[in-house]
Amino acid sequence: MTGEAIAALAPLGLRCEQRTEPLGIDERAPLLSWRLASSRRGDAPARHRVRVWDEAGALSWDTGWVSDPEAVSVRYAGAPLSARTRYRWEVAVTGRDGATAEAGSWFETGQLSPAAWQASWITHDTSDLDVVDAPEEGEVALADHGLSPAVRLRRPFRVPAGPPVRARLYVTARGLYELRLNGHRVGDDELAPGWTDYRDRIDYRTHDVTGLVAAGENVLAATLADGWWSGFVGFDPRRSGAHYGTFPQLLAELHLYHADGHREVIVTDGTWRTRRSPIRYADLLKGECHDLRRDTPGWDRPGFGDAEGWLPAQVTGDDHDLLTAAVAPPVRAVEELAARTVTRVGDDRHLVDFGQNFAGRVRLTARGLTPGARVVIRHGEALDADGALYTDNLRTADATDVLIGGDDAVVVFEPRFTYHGFRYAEVSGLRELDPSDITGVVLHSDTPWVGEFACSDPDIERLHRAIVWGQRSNFVSVPTDCPQRDERLGWLADAQVFLPTACLNADVAAFFEGWLREVRGAQSPDGCFPNVAPRLAGVADEGAPGWGDAGVLVPWHLYRVYGDERFLERNLDAMCAWVDFVHRHNPDLVWRHRVGPHFADWLAPTPTPREVVATAYFARSTELTARAAGVLGRDDLADRYGTLAGHIRKTFAERFVTPGGRIAGDTQTAYLLALAFELLPGGNGGEAASRAAERLAELVEAAGPGVTTGFLGVGLIAPVLDACGRPDLAHALLRRTDPPSWLFPLRHGATTIWERWDGYTDERGFQAAAMNSFNHYALGSIGEWLYQGVAGLALAPGSTGYRELLIRPRPGDLAWARATYTSVRGTVATAWAREDGVLRLEVSVPPGATAVVHVPTGDPGGVREGGVPVDGAEGVEVLGTGPGTLLCRVTSGDYRFTADDPMLAVP
């Protein structure tokens, strides 16, 4: 990792609002941030300067030179930003040697205010949809699930002079939209505008369409489908669909800026024309049906003269108060998977294996079609004992796409307004299917991938890949629980337990900022967070312990990882309201009232008493609320909630901890919560904690060694065992292959993390189909320890934004491991390998950061760095020794340590 060339300190990776060159933001004081790079040891910024210019070149803000060696971001505090304006900005950084380097970027504002909108909400004449399409002669009626067709909308307009010098399209929908301009698709967003609680907030997005507008006649066109707005969502039979509305609506403005300085605005209004589309229905759970007999080619381009069946658009309102610019990255088609195998299973039926469970759709080239011929694509995660597609666990999600042939014999079919969770697809209706004619299209929110992990054990590498694919499959607009069955909800506990792993895999700052708006919006007036966000209409939802607590835990963890205090500023009031809600209903400080559905340690083989789980989380949320208030200088709140947290810890010890150190329930999760949340008398350095750690180790060893936790305990088990001096047990759990274990599903063909430890066994087959997802990320929260424990790459306790690092590899019996993470400050990397009795450890620390490095060794006196004794190496300060390790502090730069291999797991 050490480079030969000496490069000066330089800024890079400039971002605005956690995004690279964002187009259309509504934040009036955006955060401008940058990373740092240098190949020189000890390099750090001495000062920085940020300047911002408007599109006319006028200086909007100049921080001047600021001496702050820790800063990698500033909040804009210049002249008020103007709507629909591009700003150029530049950061200059001066190193300790006096050399200065600069980098530049841009951001563009959106509408900035609901008052800026001129467009009306429009939709199709819904009375036209009451006319049911009769089947053709000899045709079996189509099961449309009671859904209405998707509709097309179009608006011709003229540009009399030359094309505009700039064109911006601001668009959203109650439902899903796909925009086209002169026959060309606008943008690459999928399932746009994404899922929000439309009663509280509707996201809009901005598109640069300058290159699509021509002189003369133009056509702006859209297809509109149900989506989360009026389609099927969730699993509650009392309210399975139409949670927010009954039919989708579109809102759009096209702003054209001409060379002579004038601006023209094309808006959605009553002049648009609409028609039912060839998409007879499109639903996220049921699937999508395209009937090409009903197509009208050329409808989205100039010169289209077929007015038959086109009706005036219906204006449904002019309300704009809920419109906000989207902050989370959009869902995109990010990868394509070739068919691994195509197997004929009938005369016109084929089974396709993509080799990977994922969220998305297929793109199929159908050959030999005749008018009215049907091609049906069913999706599933697994095969049954007979090798047929297994769909029982989808429950009421049909996950079936249908193509009905029209005039063309060869058609490329790719659904646009649905997605499925699947590995296998069964295609019926084609005599022949070549593998090259079908492709898996992977969809997920386009979060930048910033982490890499690898090690010498192929099984653990497969586990890491399964964790990553689970994250990709379930970060689809919101953090869902699963992508396949009739659920796909934003469960709060799943998100909070997996968040530490998610942050190491990808940059999820903007993604979770968007979701936290939903969490806050779903909080009840009396302070209760929900179990799922966005909320569903008509579904009662009071947060359970560990679920509702995500409203506190998620903002705190995001603050620690990204160093952005706004995660706390925006959520502190909601955090306080949640703690007050629990306290108000449980004045004796044991959380037993108003616990919602109380899922406890969900799906744990050994259940933990509910009051233990609840009270532990009550203490944790209260403590973190106190810390958040302290960070923000709210000393009154910090004192209040800090005192309350102390009382809850005392109550927990009195009610649930015996004089002999046993915790009520005597389960792994009970000890994990007590130790991870520091609930025992004397803290984690006290005698009670020591006894708890010993008992935890006994329980793990007695189980195999094995894990008997559920969703709430699983992410804690390896880090807590490690902190208690038993990383050997954490490694043993990683390598276990019998259920419950992480490797058991992999030995049974899993490519993502299962919902249940035993979702399938040779003895019992599939678990109950009522709840048996094969793509759930919660149990994948072990991924955090792969980075932090196995590879040794961690944020130091008490630090934020990776200002201080903890490099502490836990080799176990592995031969090598490595991890790289692009933090908000710069790139952090570790790599260690053992060979011929020597352990080599490479470390990269970004400029302005420091790291405490634990070098595993059997002989601390023999550790060398860069070929010289460690106590004489540049940038290295020896701090002391520990059991089987040498501790040292390093400044920024690249380091190479060599040491005698301890050969055994590091204590």
The pLDDT tens digits of the residues spanning 407-423 come to: 999 999 999 999 999 99
Mean per-residue pLDDT over the chain, rounded: 95
Q: How high is the pLDDT of residue 140?
A: 63
Pairing of strands 893-900, 864-865: antiparallel
628-649 average pLDDT score: 98
The percent of residues in the chain predicted with pLDDT above 90, rounded, is 92
755 is catalytic: yes
- Rounded CA separation 35/825 (Å): 5
The CA–CA distances, whole Å, from 453 to 802, 830, 851 equal 18, 10, 19
Using the predicted structure, report yes or no on whether residue 887 has a pLDDT greater than 50.
yes
Q: Strand, coil or helix: what is 747?
A: helix
631-645 average pLDDT score: 98
The tens digit of pLDDT for each residue in 255-278 reads 999 999 999 999 999 999 999 999
Tell which residue, 275, 280, 306, has the closest CA to residue 291.
Answer: 280
Q: How high is the pLDDT of residue 905?
A: 36
The CA–CA distances, whole Å, from 358 to 168, 363, 398, 804 equal 34, 14, 17, 36
Q: Where are the beta strands (DSSP E) in 467-606?
A: 475-476, 478-479
**Are 221 and 300 spatial neighbours (Cβ–Cβ below 8 Å)?**
yes
Identify the active-site residue in 623, 755, 784, 865.
Answer: 755
- Burial (CB count within 10 angstroms: exposed 0-12, middle 13-18, buried 19+), residue 385: exposed
- The confidence band for 3, taking pLDDT boundaries of 50, 70 and 90, is very low
The tens digit of pLDDT for each residue in 219-245 reads 999 999 999 999 999 988 777 889 999
The tens digit of pLDDT for each residue in 518-559 reads 999 999 999 999 999 999 987 778 999 999 999 999 999 999
Q: What is the DSSP string of 864-900?
A: EETTEEGGGSTTEEEEEEETTEEEEEE-SEEEEEEEE
SS (H, E, C) 167-204: EEEEEEEECEEEEEECCEECCCCECCCCCCCCCCCEEE
The percent of residues in the chain predicted with pLDDT above 70, rounded, is 97
Using the predicted structure, report yes or no on whether residue 137 has a pLDDT greater than 70.
no
Using the predicted structure, report yes or no on whether residue 135 has a pLDDT greater than 80.
no
The tens digit of pLDDT for each residue in 644-691 reads 999 999 999 999 999 888 999 999 999 999 999 999 999 888 999 999
Identify the active-site residue in 27, 253, 426, 487.
Answer: 487
**Are 61 and 50 spatial neighbours (Cβ–Cβ below 8 Å)?**
yes
Using the predicted structure, report yes or no on whether residue 343 has a pLDDT greater than 60.
yes
749-754 average pLDDT score: 98
Using the predicted structure, report yes or no on whether residue 907 has a pLDDT greater than 50.
no
Tell which residue, 129, 419, 399, 118, has the closest CA to residue 247.
Answer: 129
316-343 average pLDDT score: 98
Q: Strand, coil or helix: what is 125?
A: coil
The tens digit of pLDDT for each residue in 23-32 reads 999 999 999 9
- Rounded CA separation 357/484 (Å): 10
**Are 110 and 24 spatial neighbours (Cβ–Cβ below 8 Å)?**
yes
41-68 average pLDDT score: 96
804 is catalytic: no
Tokens of 880: 């002391």
Residue 386 burial (CB count, 10 A) = 7
Pairing of strands 279-283, 389-390: unpaired
Q: Picking from 2-6, 569-573, 658-662, which range would have the lowest pLDDT averaged per residue?
A: 2-6
Using the predicted structure, report yes or no on whether residue 4 has a pLDDT greater than 50.
no
Q: Strand, coil or helix: what is 592?
A: coil
**Are 593 and 618 spatial neighbours (Cβ–Cβ below 8 Å)?**
no
